Amino acid sequence: MDIQEYISGGMVESYALGLLTAQERFEFEQICSNHPEVKAALDAFELQLEKQAMENSMAPPAELKQKIADRIFAAKQTTPVIPISSSSERKINPMASGWLRIAAAACFILLAGSIWWNMDLRKENNALKTNLGKSNDRIAQMEADASIIQKEGMKMVGLGGTANSPKSFATVYWDTTSHDVYLLVNNLPKPASDEQYQLWAIFNGQPQDMGFIEISEKALRFYRMKNAQAAQAFAITLEKKDGNPAPNLDKIYVMGNL
């Protein structure tokens, strides 16, 4: 088995995204245990997924914990002492009385803290809603992307790095029914300001322009490209800004066969 060809064939991404059958998962795990380079490729892809999740996570305001502590301390200093009548004192032993006062003070502190917390959270509400909306939009987009690549008739092509960029990798998903093409950029170096990546579909030795790729700081970008009526291979080249009518064969960064 050619391990590098196996890695570039998209099995690593399919395993991590839960797209394999039970038998395929078993076979992949056996290969992982026997070939450290496959396990390393899986770890690298999972780190990219984790990085994407962290980029979309929301942290509470840094000062929130200290504000709560300050308000509770202030409430504790001003907690009123609840008087107990002499008749009540005869019915309650001193130890129970002490615990009742502590419990009452604790309830007051918690109530005061809760009131302040709710008032303070209202101020943060708009910002949190905005962040939550962005996260929900991103999750919805990821779910939509996942439903696309699991469609029946979808072919997956792993594009492995060339000598120009050995660590580069991308995945093409080609719908053989609708001829729609989608591109998942796993790892491509950011180009210079006057350069741009371009995807090509190759059939009978002839390249077909599939569109430009805008590289951002976010990992695992998913792109909708032009349609391809037929293809035997796909490749990404680095071209001048606004692209070329024909690929620059000296700057092929990734390539893979169907």
Please tell me the predicted confidence (pLDDT) of residue 67. Answer: 66
Task: Find out whether 6 and 19 touch, Cβ atoms under 8 Å.
Answer: no
Please tell me the predicted confidence (pLDDT) of residue 43. Answer: 85
Same domain, 116 and 74: yes
Domain span at 34: 1-55
Name the token pair of 242.
């606004």
Same domain, 74 and 137: yes
Please tell me the predicted confidence (pLDDT) of residue 94. Answer: 47
Last residue in a domain, options 118, 145, 172 = 145
Report the half-sphere exposure of 237 (CA within 13 A, side-chain side). 22
Please tell me the predicted confidence (pLDDT) of residue 115. Answer: 47
Residue count of the chain: 258
Burial class (CB in 10 A: 0-12, 13-18, 19+), 229: exposed
Q: What is the pTM of this model?
A: 0.52
Residue ranges of the chain with pLDDT lower than 50? 84-100, 102, 105, 108-109, 111-113, 115-116
Please tell me the predicted confidence (pLDDT) of residue 89. Answer: 44
Please tell me the predicted confidence (pLDDT) of residue 145. Answer: 63
Same domain, 206 and 246: yes
Q: What are phi and psi of 156, to 5 degrees?
A: -110, 135
Task: Find out whether 254 and 213 touch, Cβ atoms under 8 Å.
Answer: no
Please tell me the predicted confidence (pLDDT) of residue 251. Answer: 95
Please tell me the predicted confidence (pLDDT) of residue 66. Answer: 67
Same domain, 102 and 6: no
Strand 169-175 with 181-187, pairing: antiparallel
Same domain, 183 and 257: yes
Separation of alpha carbons 136 and 220, rounded Å: 18
